[in-house]
């Protein structure tokens, strides 16, 4: 689809692609955040794929370290070891992909 579209457009396209390929996913998956053992409220991750991989998508200029920190926080919150951060606002998609591992 190319760069320059809204994040919601890429999210919709990814969900459709996962369906076409038979990939199990949860979209806008609600997770509970905790602080010192106390639940402090819900938050949402863009995708949880096959119950194992968190996928956070962006459509912004430049990949910022805070986006990586966000994915790492989600990974810790729901005890997942792998996360992907994809920024679609790049000329070559491979330049916008970051794999994170705990």
Tens-place pLDDT, residues 39-89? 888 889 999 999 999 999 999 887 888 999 999 999 998 899 999 999 999
Quote the CA–CA distance of 46 and 48 in Å, as a whole number: 7
The pair of three-digit structure tokens given for residue 101, joined into one six-digit string: 């591992």
Band (pLDDT 50/70/90 cuts) for residue 34 is confident
The pair of three-digit structure tokens given for residue 66, joined into one six-digit string: 């805070």
In CATH terms, is domain 7-101 a member of 3.90.1150.10? no
Residue 97 burial (C-beta neighbours within 10 Å; 0-12, 13-18, 19+): middle
Express as a percent the part of the chain with pLDDT over 90: 63
Q: If DSSP codes are grouped into helix, strand and coil, which group holds residue 39?
A: strand
Q: Give the residue extent of every domain in the chain.
A: 7-101
CA distances from residue 56 to 12, 36, 39, 61 in whole angstroms, order as listed? 13, 25, 22, 15
């Amino acid at each position: 689809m190319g760069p320059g579209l809204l994040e919601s457009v890429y999210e919709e396209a990814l969900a459709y692609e996962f369906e076409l390929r038979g990939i199990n996913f949860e979209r806008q998956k609600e997770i509970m955040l905790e602080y010192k053992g106390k639940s402090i409220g819900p938050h949402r991750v863009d995708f949880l794929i096959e119950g194992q991989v968190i996928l956070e998508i962006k459509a912004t200029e430049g990949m910022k370290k805070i986006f990586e920190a966000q994915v790492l926080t989600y990974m810790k919150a729901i005890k997942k070891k792998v996360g992907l951060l994809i920024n679609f606002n790049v000329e070559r998609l491979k330049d916008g992909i970051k794999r994170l591992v705990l």
